[in-house]
Amino acid sequence: MTRNEVTELVVTQKLAKQLSWAQLAEAIGLSKEWTTAALLGQMTLNAEQAAAIGALLDLPPDAIAQLQVVPYKGSLPSAVPTDPLIYRFYELVNVYGTTFKALIHEEFGDGIMSAIDFSMDLQREADPKGDRVKIVMSGKFLPYKSY
Amino acid sequence: MTRNEVTELVVTQKLAKQLSWAQLAEAIGLSKEWTTAALLGQMTLNAEQAAAIGALLDLPPDAIAQLQVVPYKGSLPSAVPTDPLIYRFYELVNVYGTTFKALIHEEFGDGIMSAIDFSMDLQREADPKGDRVKIVMSGKFLPYKSY
Amino acid sequence: MTRNEVTELVVTQKLAKQLSWAQLAEAIGLSKEWTTAALLGQMTLNAEQAAAIGALLDLPPDAIAQLQVVPYKGSLPSAVPTDPLIYRFYELVNVYGTTFKALIHEEFGDGIMSAIDFSMDLQREADPKGDRVKIVMSGKFLPYKSY
Amino acid sequence: MTRNEVTELVVTQKLAKQLSWAQLAEAIGLSKEWTTAALLGQMTLNAEQAAAIGALLDLPPDAIAQLQVVPYKGSLPSAVPTDPLIYRFYELVNVYGTTFKALIHEEFGDGIMSAIDFSMDLQREADPKGDRVKIVMSGKFLPYKSY
Amino acid sequence: MTRNEVTELVVTQKLAKQLSWAQLAEAIGLSKEWTTAALLGQMTLNAEQAAAIGALLDLPPDAIAQLQVVPYKGSLPSAVPTDPLIYRFYELVNVYGTTFKALIHEEFGDGIMSAIDFSMDLQREADPKGDRVKIVMSGKFLPYKSY
Amino acid sequence: MTRNEVTELVVTQKLAKQLSWAQLAEAIGLSKEWTTAALLGQMTLNAEQAAAIGALLDLPPDAIAQLQVVPYKGSLPSAVPTDPLIYRFYELVNVYGTTFKALIHEEFGDGIMSAIDFSMDLQREADPKGDRVKIVMSGKFLPYKSY
Amino acid sequence: MTRNEVTELVVTQKLAKQLSWAQLAEAIGLSKEWTTAALLGQMTLNAEQAAAIGALLDLPPDAIAQLQVVPYKGSLPSAVPTDPLIYRFYELVNVYGTTFKALIHEEFGDGIMSAIDFSMDLQREADPKGDRVKIVMSGKFLPYKSY
Amino acid sequence: MTRNEVTELVVTQKLAKQLSWAQLAEAIGLSKEWTTAALLGQMTLNAEQAAAIGALLDLPPDAIAQLQVVPYKGSLPSAVPTDPLIYRFYELVNVYGTTFKALIHEEFGDGIMSAIDFSMDLQREADPKGDRVKIVMSGKFLPYKSY
Amino acid sequence: MTRNEVTELVVTQKLAKQLSWAQLAEAIGLSKEWTTAALLGQMTLNAEQAAAIGALLDLPPDAIAQLQVVPYKGSLPSAVPTDPLIYRFYELVNVYGTTFKALIHEEFGDGIMSAIDFSMDLQREADPKGDRVKIVMSGKFLPYKSY
Amino acid sequence: MTRNEVTELVVTQKLAKQLSWAQLAEAIGLSKEWTTAALLGQMTLNAEQAAAIGALLDLPPDAIAQLQVVPYKGSLPSAVPTDPLIYRFYELVNVYGTTFKALIHEEFGDGIMSAIDFSMDLQREADPKGDRVKIVMSGKFLPYKSY
């Protein structure tokens, strides 16, 4: 059983059991953002977390074992994503990429925002003109140093 | 004078005049995020804003005119960005893309987060273990409707 | 059962049952354009619609469930489509892309035509020199605003 | 002087003279859609049309000659367009491509909608919830015949 | 049964039955060029033609039905073909592409040679220095017109 | 002076002198197909031919010398051509590629049609339903032999 | 049974039977270079050769039939090969490509070295500093001629 | 002066001086294969060799200095070469790549043929049926060893 | 059973048996770096090594045979790796590539560092500010020589 | 003056002044690895370092200013490098990429080796069988944590 097959099984079982991502996250006491990424094959569960998810979703032992292995990451089937929702994020990188770069360097100097020591929070923001998606990202700044 | 040449001139003049992006933004009374994107060739200034920036950066009339034309957007020279800072954002899309999709659909149903009716704010977040980059994004949810 | 398998099954069953896309659309009271897109894996049905389609096409419960899940969109197997009919639309984007851009900006200013708040209608236009395909597209204009 | 240089010159001179695409189209008595495409290097003017445009935009004889030569078409710098406005049209091809195909074949049989014997009209559609872009496309159906 | 599977089955059965493409074409009274393209998944048979081919090749009803559906066209697995025979045709487009363009425009003005209202004939041309492949292509000229 | 610059100069001078490709071909006593390809940078002239063309087009000695050097061939700026006229030929390769392969192998066995020992002739074919482009290609068959 | 499956079966059976490529070549009285290429899906055996190989490798009749069909050639899964041994040959084309071109044109004029009327021989060349791979290629020169 | 400009200058001067690659090679006492590669920007001359070439071709001191710098190698403008002569070598890698691999591993075990400790010789091979290009390559075998 | 299937089986069995890469390496008396690469389908075991691994992981005879065949190398599914850990190594090549080149040429002259006559060692480096990954690479320098 | 032009100027001036990378590094008291990367446009100098380099290489004030600006990183002109020396590093990532991943995860758990908090040292390693290139890389391990 490959990790991709585990991911497909998780999605199918979640549909059959009518569970939400938020409910799955609650079951292991972590954020819905991290939990969803993990169950979609991008993060690694520990034994206890894998067992809890396995119980909720009726996963076979093989799948529960796989959830504890570090996956080969990258959740998209093409370099430029075709799905409209995901493409909008790619477009933000394309349009605002040099802006991110200019402003982070202005504030911090040469370096990057870590995508590893990173967390995020995604919420509905009520708005009379139409509700909004609010995403707060927080990543550690890692400076390049000369040596 | 093409828009790319205007962008290069803006960057060079900003360097010569020792102005920050934040100072340029203040001069036109807008956020540093939008102003930087505009000056890097991704947004469109009105006549007054263009004149103010032109005065600060000693731009020729041609350049001031070009800043008021809607640009051909996309700030990156390759589909997968090579710059490490910008790549980290691409990586977030790659690793978390399906998570964004799953959670937004769970909360809002089928649709997207707009990258047009969108704003963002980038701040330093003090942290004893190393300061962090905090980015708050807000985009209107646009539902797909059947017709 | 993945969504791609559901799409293949829909196409096969529609062939076996000798149903047209227009008939399937009529069964759920929506346009043939939206319905076809939905059944080809690009839009999301609600429970009632999915049940109606499932009954007409003899789909198993798994497939009916999948039709209610937001799909990973993008219906083409390559970035530049090889099918001659679909390529002609890609060619229109290639040849007229900058024209769309110039005229929409001239009329509306900086912004885009939404591909989400969007509908279309495809009709036969009788013509003595050979009938024509007439497509009417309508998408909301979304302005970029400074912030 | 290459055709690309002519296109750049047209854009610059139009900006300097403060002329709209609609005004340029009116000067040669053709639609704004075709005229814009022609001036952006995708269609071919005849001698009279080229002279009229040349006079309005103060173009040198070389440029006026080039406007009468059939150009190497394709107005975009990359296979997948990066500009958000143009990308939305590419996205429509990606999401609705198989729908176009299914419905045109259902109505007409095997064949294509011509992108050559083709015209289009782009208008503002007033709407209390926000004005819309309305595009009407009309292309001759060309059937594949067996031989 | 997908169309690709039908194509594979046709090729296998033709091999098993020791039939030539010319014989299959004769059976439906059409050219070997069109018939081969159709059986390789690029054209659409009518019911009578599909039945005749199905009888000759012992195809199951599913396959016979599929032969009457307009296929998703494009017969090559990569944008630049790797097979040496097919590559030579791609090379002709690459080397002579601008020549085709120059000479057709010189003779006909702006427009294209149709690849839909098109037929071709492929023959052996006896030659003492080595036989030659002779291909005669005939495609309707379709003019771009201003509107 | 690079070969590309020679090609651009040839095109510009031909325009200024109002010469057709057919006239240029006549001046060196060769077909319009080969001559056009040569002048567009794909074939090699001998000294006498280059001098004749140089005289007609007022080319400098450098350009005349370059016309006698074997060029780096390939006349298209992208692997999949964007120009609609040239794309139609690419489409023919894509749709009919496996048909070319099947029929040539059926007639000749394993091998290729040469794109080097090759000639072609392009003519207008009068037709009441609209004139047609007729292209006759003739390439030597080159067999693979075992060794 | 597709040709790829035949190739996989050949490789597996050769492993199980502990036969070398040279032994297989000897069995049909041809060079090891041509035979290996044929068995890896790049050349076409005649009936007698296919039967001999089939007997040695215990291939089913289907596979023996397929070995006599001209294959869709191209043995590599990516345009730039990833396997280090094969990449070195790609690198030679990359580094020495223009050298091959310059020297062949200097010696022969405009034309190519045939990759069809071609043979090669690969041998171990003993060398005290480490044995060497010696490859002798011989391809007919095919001149471009004007017409 | 960049290395590419040096290469262009070498080609232009060689043309003006009517020198062959073989004559240039003779002037520095090395093979025509290595010398041509070096002068086309793929190898590095020592001071004496660069001076000799510089004298023959009337190169400026800058160019002579550049010839002694290790260049960024790779002589082709695209991953899959478009020039027919060079493509034939790419095709050989594509068609015979897995054969090279199979035979070298059979003879030598796991490892590669070096493209660095490598030499080659290109000769005309007289043949009554048409002269042939003969290329002898010799590269050291480098074994992978376990460690 | 293909090599890819062997690799998948190795990974699954290692998980089931709870063995580490280091333990597998120890079992055949080689480094963990080489052994892991071999078991992930990049190197070739001898009979004894394959038998030892087969016993530890309960592999079928087919898999044990395949481990002794030189594999088609290249362990990544895309040219630019999507997995963040592996991407960092690609980024090092991208950022430091020209630095590797400049410094190795400065020290050794024209040539390369071998990736075949190569070994490496990967260790944890304790560090109070956070442990580090230490990789020591050693590759033979192979000089280009003129000939 | 763009950063690329500064890099070209640095390389040209270094050649003219006959300075080594090691000498330039010594002048600013940093490692040759970091200094070379910085001067090739990948790292950022401070004012003092830039002045020192500027004095040694006779750079204009514009260039000295640019050396203090964070550059857009990525030193290679194509995704897969064509230069043989740099390609060998890409090959290591390709062949050993999954090995790096497996061993780092085995030792440290899920996370990456930082390419930012990173240093390296490149040395000649004397060896009787041919000197070797020794590269020691040290990058901080950054763990993914759940949140």
Catalytic residue at F114?
A: yes
Tell me, yes or no, whether A72 lies in a domain: no
Mutate to test the interface with D, among F4, F14, F40, F85 (most CBs of D within 10 A): F85
- Whether residues H57 and H88 share a domain: the answer is no
Which residue from B minimizes the CA distance to D77?
Answer: B72
* Mean pLDDT over the full length of chain J: 96
- Whether residues D8 and D54 share a domain: the answer is yes
- Whether residues I93 and I119 share a domain: the answer is yes
State the Cα–Cα distance between residues F37 and F15, nearest whole angstrom.
17
User: Residue F24: which domain range?
Assistant: 3-66
- Domain boundary, last residue among B66, B97, B114: B66
Q: Kindly state the percentage of chain B with pLDDT values over 90.
A: 99
B80 neighbors D78 (Cβ within 8 angstroms): no
What is the model's pLDDT at position E96?
96
pLDDT confidence of C46, banded at 50, 70, 90? very high
Which residue from G minimizes the CA distance to J85?
Answer: G91
- C82, E74: Cβ pair inside 8 Å? yes
Question: Which pLDDT tens digit goes with each residue over A59-106?
Answer: 999 999 999 999 999 999 999 999 999 999 999 999 999 999 999 999
Residue type, B129: K
State the Cα–Cα distance between residues D92 and D95, nearest whole angstrom.
5
Q: G18 is written with which tokens?
A: 């502990």
Inspect the structure and tell me whether chains A and H have 3 or more CB pairs less than 8 Å apart. no
Tell me, yes or no, whether I132 lies in a domain: yes
Q: Which residues contact C106 (CB under 8 A, 6 or more apart)?
A: D20, D21, D22
Chain D contact partners (≥3 CB pairs within 8 A): A, B, C, E, F
What helix, strand, coil percent values describe chain H, rounded to 5? Answer: 50, 20, 30
Residues C119-138 have a mean pLDDT of: 97
- Whether residues D52 and D8 share a domain: the answer is yes
F97 neighbors G74 (Cβ within 8 angstroms): no
Which residue from I minimizes the CA distance to G18?
Answer: I65
What is the model's pLDDT at position G1?
83
The enclosing H or E element of F9 equals: helix F3-17
- Whether residues H127 and H88 share a domain: the answer is yes
Catalytic-role residue among D8, D20, D48, D114 = D114
G36 to chain I: which residues are within 8 Å by CB? none
pLDDT confidence of I140, banded at 50, 70, 90? very high
Catalytic-role residue among B91, B119, B132, B138 = B91
Query: DSSP letter at C135?
Result: E
CATH of residue I42's domain is: 1.10.260.40
- pLDDT of E1 over the 90 cut: no
Q: Which residues of B49-72 are buried (b: 16+ CB within 10 A; e: fewer)?
A: bbbbbbebbebeeebbbbbebbbb
Which residue from E minimizes the CA distance to G114?
Answer: E84
Catalytic residue at D107?
A: no
Using a CB–CB cutoff of 8 Å, tell me whether B142 touches chain C: yes
Question: Which pLDDT tens digit goes with each residue over G49-78?
Answer: 999 999 999 999 999 999 999 999 999 999
What is the model's pLDDT at position D69?
95
SS3 B109: coil
- Whether residues E59 and E102 share a domain: the answer is no
Using a CB–CB cutoff of 8 Å, tell me whether F72 touches chain E: no
I137 neighbors J134 (Cβ within 8 angstroms): yes
Tell me, yes or no, whether D73 lies in a domain: no
Position of tokens 């039908």? E6
Which residue from B minimizes the CA distance to I84?
Answer: B91
- pLDDT of A1 over the 90 cut: no
Question: Which value, in Å, is the radius of gyration of the alpha carbons in chain H?
Answer: 18
Burial grade of B107 (CB within 10 A; 0-12, 13-18, 19 or more): middle
SS3 A58: coil
Catalytic residue set of J: 88, 91, 114
Position of tokens 């002898």? H136
State the Cα–Cα distance between residues C24 and J34, nearest whole angstrom.
65
State the Cα–Cα distance between residues I42 and I118, nearest whole angstrom.
14
G80 to chain J: which residues are within 8 Å by CB? 80
CATH of residue H107's domain is: 3.30.1160.10
C37 neighbors C49 (Cβ within 8 angstroms): no
Tell me, yes or no, whether J36 lies in a domain: yes
Tell me, yes or no, whether J120 lies in a domain: yes
What is the model's pLDDT at position H5?
94
Q: Kindly state the percentage of chain I with pLDDT values over 70.
A: 100
CB pairs A-C closer than 8 Å: 20
pLDDT confidence of I1, banded at 50, 70, 90? confident
Number of structural domains found in chain E: 2
State the Cα–Cα distance between residues G132 and I33, nearest whole angstrom.
28
- J15, H65: Cβ pair inside 8 Å? yes
pLDDT confidence of B90, banded at 50, 70, 90? very high
- Whether residues F62 and F25 share a domain: the answer is yes
A66 neighbors B85 (Cβ within 8 angstroms): no
- Whether residues G9 and G59 share a domain: the answer is yes
Which residue from H minimizes the CA distance to F75?
Answer: H82
Burial grade of F58 (CB within 10 A; 0-12, 13-18, 19 or more): exposed
Tell me, yes or no, whether I75 lies in a domain: no
Q: C59 is written with which tokens?
A: 């789909």
Q: Which residues contact J5 (CB under 8 A, 6 or more apart)?
A: none
State the Cα–Cα distance between residues H143 and G86, nearest whole angstrom.
14
Question: Which pLDDT tens digit goes with each residue over F108-124?
Answer: 999 999 999 999 999 99
CB pairs E-F closer than 8 Å: 226
Position of tokens 């109505």? D107
* Mean pLDDT over the full length of chain F: 96
- CA-closest candidate to residue A120, choices B95, H38, E23: B95
D46 neighbors D28 (Cβ within 8 angstroms): no
Start-to-end CA distance of chain J, whole Å, equals 46
Tell me, yes or no, whether C54 lies in a domain: yes
Q: Kindly state the percentage of chain E with pLDDT values over 90.
A: 99
- Whether residues G46 and G96 share a domain: the answer is no
Using a CB–CB cutoff of 8 Å, tell me whether J138 touches chain A: no
- J83, H69: Cβ pair inside 8 Å? no
- pLDDT of H1 over the 90 cut: no
- In degrees and rounded to multiples of 5, residue C67 shows phi and psi of -65, -15
Helices assigned H by DSSP within chain C = 3-17, 21-28, 32-39, 47-57, 61-66, 84-108
State the Cα–Cα distance between residues H43 and H31, nearest whole angstrom.
13
Which residue from H minimizes the CA distance to J15?
Answer: H65
* Mean pLDDT over the full length of chain C: 96
- Whether residues H10 and H60 share a domain: the answer is yes
Question: Which pLDDT tens digit goes with each residue over I36-84?
Answer: 999 999 999 999 999 999 999 999 999 999 999 999 999 999 999 999 9
Catalytic residue set of I: 88, 91, 114
- pLDDT of B1 over the 90 cut: no
**Closest residue to E69, CB basis, from C15, C83, C84:** C15
pLDDT confidence of H60, banded at 50, 70, 90? very high
pLDDT confidence of C96, banded at 50, 70, 90? very high
pLDDT confidence of A37, banded at 50, 70, 90? very high
**Positive or negative: CA dihedral E30, E31, E32, E37:** negative
Catalytic-role residue among C5, C91, C119, C132 = C91
- CA-closest candidate to residue D111, choices D87, D64, D144, D62: D144
Position of tokens 């009329």? C107
- Whether residues E62 and E89 share a domain: the answer is no
Catalytic residue at B20?
A: no
State the Cα–Cα distance between residues B124 and B20, nearest whole angstrom.
16
Question: Which pLDDT tens digit goes with each residue over D91-113?
Answer: 999 999 999 999 999 999 999 99
**Closest residue to H94, CB basis, from E82, E91, E95:** E82
pLDDT confidence of C53, banded at 50, 70, 90? very high
Using a CB–CB cutoff of 8 Å, tell me whether C109 touches chain B: yes
What is the model's pLDDT at position F1?
83
Residues D15-29 have a mean pLDDT of: 96
Using a CB–CB cutoff of 8 Å, tell me whether E80 touches chain H: yes
State the Cα–Cα distance between residues I11 and I29, nearest whole angstrom.
20
**Closest residue to G91, CB basis, from J84, J94, J95:** J84
State the Cα–Cα distance between residues G94 and G90, nearest whole angstrom.
6
Strand partners, B124: B133
- Domain boundary, last residue among J66, J99, J119: J66
Lay out the sheet containing B111-125: strands in order across. A111-125, A132-143, B132-143, B111-125
- Domain boundary, last residue among C66, C100, C117: C66
Using a CB–CB cutoff of 8 Å, tell me whether A110 touches chain J: yes
Question: Which pLDDT tens digit goes with each residue over D40-67?
Answer: 999 999 999 999 999 999 999 999 999 9
- E89, F100: Cβ pair inside 8 Å? yes
- Whether residues D61 and D91 share a domain: the answer is no
Q: H50 is written with which tokens?
A: 């660069």
Residues G103-121 have a mean pLDDT of: 97
Q: J102 is written with which tokens?
A: 């497996």
Question: Which pLDDT tens digit goes with each residue over B35-68?
Answer: 999 999 999 999 999 999 999 999 999 999 999 9
- G85, H100: Cβ pair inside 8 Å? yes
Neighbours of E28 (CB within 10 A): 20
Chain E contact partners (≥3 CB pairs within 8 A): C, D, F, G, H
A76 to chain I: which residues are within 8 Å by CB? 82
pLDDT confidence of E61, banded at 50, 70, 90? very high
- E110, D144: Cβ pair inside 8 Å? no
Which residue from J minimizes the CA distance to I85?
Answer: J112
F53 neighbors F142 (Cβ within 8 angstroms): no
**Closest residue to D31, CB basis, from E72, E101, E147:** E147
Tell me, yes or no, whether J73 lies in a domain: no
To the nearest whole angstrom, how far is the Cα of F141 from the nearest Cα of chain E? 5
Between positions 29 and 68 of D, the ones with CB within 8 A of C are 32-33, 36-37, 40, 42
Chain I contact partners (≥3 CB pairs within 8 A): A, B, G, H, J
Residue type, I29: G
To the nearest whole angstrom, how far is the Cα of D33 from the nearest Cα of chain F? 18
- CA-closest candidate to residue B28, choices B55, B65, B58, B66: B55
* Mean pLDDT over the full length of chain G: 96
What is the model's pLDDT at position B33?
97
State the Cα–Cα distance between residues F32 and F51, nearest whole angstrom.
17
- D97, C81: Cβ pair inside 8 Å? yes
State the Cα–Cα distance between residues C68 and C43, nearest whole angstrom.
9
